[in-house]
Amino acid sequence: MFFEAIKVMPRVLRVGQKTRINGKFHELPRDIQLGWPAVLKLKYVPGNGTWEDGNTLLWGEEHDLECEFREDGTFSFDFTPAEEGETTFQLYMERPDDAYKFPVFSCYALEEDLFKLRPFKGDTHVHTCWSGCGGMQEALPYVCSMARSRGLDFTFITDHSKIYPSFNAICAMECFESDFKVYPGEETHVPYRWKAERDFVHNTSVVDGIHHVALGADRGVVEYTNDHFEEYTQYLEKRMNELDPSISEAQRKLMAGVDWLVEKIHEFGGIAVFAHPFWRHNNHLNLPPRVREYIFDNGKFDAVEVIGLGSGERNANSFAGNVECISYLHDKSVKLGRHIPVTGATDVHRAEPLIGYQYTLAFAVENTLENIKDAICSGRTLACSSYPGENTFFWGDFRLVQFAEFLRREFFPEHDERCAVEGKLMLQATRGEISVENVKAAASGCTGKLFREFWAE
Ligand SMILES: [Zn+2]
Ligand SMILES: [Zn+2]
């Protein structure tokens, strides 16, 4: 990894602003140590294939850039990016007979609207042992620490039909005073009175088709529905009567149920994410296509979980469902004439095989609940899939995807390594092997510091 050998900061710059960029070889290059005739130099290549004077780049063309190299291995240069995008830099050593090239690094220039935001990786759909279908051993501190160890900046805990596990998770992780944040959530479903008691505990309502994730609400929607069953049934009846009577009663019930859930999620201060719209189980879709159309055309949801799983595990079905959802959203966005905000999530029911490998990349001012909610609702999120040994895939707004590709290469390797260190220490603390104080001393503030260094002032 580049950052392990050479440090160069800052790397995210403002368009049109001259920035002093400082570097350091952690170990002096061999030829310099030996005092051999070698001179360090720097070249650059604008990523858009165009020089400042408008001339286009010839094949393999690079320009030298003035750079001050010092005996202690530090170096500095000034750079003023002309427009948004990436510029690649090549450190090299001129020797009597040849030139030795070091690994390249790049900087990315942003217009002010995006420059003031930071990219935070998070999972918006996570189950624990407090879901009936969650793994029995998936304790809250374990799942949260695993999320941190896989490079996440935040996670929503979204157990079926109950919000309290997420509140408990927030309390359990507060002691670490980490840059990693846990936020409140619930996967909401429509309950039925005859099995309401069982629903609340064992989430049998999961089979009923409606899966909307509530992010950042301050009370549980399913608990409220159970406690106010008269209000709910009256709402359902009224809403069903307003819908096209040629639609079957069963489907109108689902449509009205979605409206209820989304309205309550909003009333309780949350945002509603349409979860895994193309989930298949037992060889059939979880949700009738007509109800899906209704949700998209009339629903009031805030975002769609475009990369998710539904079945809680990675398999061909979930992959196909994600691909279908991407194509569907593309067509829908064209028809609606606007982007539909997206999230990426794992929907894990066991953290170990999946967590951190599918996520939401949220561009927000700060990693706070309100800022993350705002980023999701405003379409400043990408859905991401990034499994070990596989290519990372980002889906969403084109401008954000371009920037995310730079971040994937230049920023996240170091970011994720810091998260891994902190997450592993948290896991040790949850097992009682080290103290919370040990974790804080070693890792508290570790990613915040990197964000401050990586972005220009
Ligand atoms: Zn679900
Ligand atoms: Zn789920």
Q: Summarize pLDDT for 47-81 with one digit per residue, the tens.
A: 999 998 999 999 999 999 999 999 999 999 999 99
How far from the centroid of its chain's Cα atoms is residue 40's Cα? 39
**Is 265 strand, coil or helix?**
helix
**Gap from CA of 244 to ligand 1 centroid (Å):** 27
**Is 454 strand, coil or helix?**
helix
Nearest CA among 75, 81, 124, 436 for reference residue 275: 124
Concatenating the DSSP letter of every residue in 171-198 gives: HHHHTT--S-EEEEEEEE----GGGHHH
170/299 same-domain check: yes
Token pair listed for 176: 């670490």
| 174-219 pLDDT, tens digit each | 999 999 999 999 999 986 544 444 444 444 455 577 899 999 999 9
**Gap from CA of 286 to ligand 1 centroid (Å):** 9
pLDDT at 227: 86
Residue 173 belongs to a domain: yes
**Gap from CA of 206 to ligand 1 centroid (Å):** 7
pLDDT at 200: 47
| 405-457 pLDDT, tens digit each | 999 999 999 999 999 999 999 999 999 999 999 999 999 999 999 999 999 99
What domain range includes position 8? 2-111
Residue 152 belongs to a domain: yes
Q: CA torsion sign, 405 to 406 to 411 to 413? A: positive
**Gap from CA of 275 to ligand 2 centroid (Å):** 8
**Gap from CA of 160 to ligand 2 centroid (Å):** 7
Angle separating helix axes 436-443 and 412-430, nearest 10 degrees: 170
Number of domains in the chain: 2
Residue 124 belongs to a domain: yes
Ligand nearest to the CA of 346: 2
- Write down the residue that tokens 């002032």 correspond to: 457
| 77-124 pLDDT, tens digit each | 999 999 999 999 999 999 999 999 999 999 999 999 999 999 999 999
- Indicate the residue among 95, 111, 127 that finishes a domain: 111
Residue 291 belongs to a domain: yes
Which band of pLDDT confidence, cut at 50, 70 and 90, is reported for residue 336? confident
Residue 436 belongs to a domain: yes
**Gap from CA of 29 to ligand 2 centroid (Å):** 51
CATH number of the structural domain spanning residue 33: 2.60.40.10
Residue 359 has pLDDT above 70, yes or no: yes
pLDDT at 202: 45
**Distance of alpha carbon 135 from alpha carbon 365, whole angstroms:** 35
204/335 same-domain check: yes
Angle separating helix axes 249-267 and 229-242, nearest 10 degrees: 120
**Gap from CA of 347 to ligand 2 centroid (Å):** 5
User: What is this structure's pTM?
Assistant: 0.95
138/266 same-domain check: yes
Residue 456 belongs to a domain: no
Which band of pLDDT confidence, cut at 50, 70 and 90, is reported for residue 313? confident
Interval 305-316 mean pLDDT: 84
Mean pLDDT taken over the chain: 93
| 9-18 pLDDT, tens digit each | 999 999 999 9
Token pair listed for 157: 């805990």
- Indicate the residue among 111, 145, 162 that finishes a domain: 111
CATH number of the structural domain spanning residue 259: 3.20.20.140
Residue 457 belongs to a domain: no
**Gap from CA of 368 to ligand 2 centroid (Å):** 23
126/92 same-domain check: no
Ligand nearest to the CA of 345: 2
45/76 same-domain check: yes
211/321 same-domain check: yes
Q: Which helix (H) or strand (E) holds 312?
A: none
**Gap from CA of 180 to ligand 1 centroid (Å):** 25
51/145 same-domain check: no
Nearest CA among 166, 178, 286, 144 for reference residue 215: 166
pLDDT at 396: 95
pLDDT at 226: 84
Q: CB within 5 A of ion ligand 1: which residues?
A: 211, 275
**Gap from CA of 312 to ligand 2 centroid (Å):** 7
Residue 330 has pLDDT above 90, yes or no: yes
Residue 234 has pLDDT above 80, yes or no: yes
132/267 same-domain check: yes
**Gap from CA of 5 to ligand 2 centroid (Å):** 41
Residue 298 belongs to a domain: yes
**Gap from CA of 130 to ligand 2 centroid (Å):** 12
Residue 161 has pLDDT above 70, yes or no: yes
pLDDT at 207: 55
28/107 same-domain check: yes
128/223 same-domain check: yes
206/278 same-domain check: yes
Nearest CA among 299, 422, 403 for reference residue 361: 403
Token pair listed for 216: 């950042």
173/40 same-domain check: no
Interval 322-341 mean pLDDT: 92
- Indicate the residue among 55, 79, 111 that finishes a domain: 111
**Gap from CA of 375 to ligand 2 centroid (Å):** 21
How far from the centroid of its chain's Cα atoms is residue 215's Cα? 14
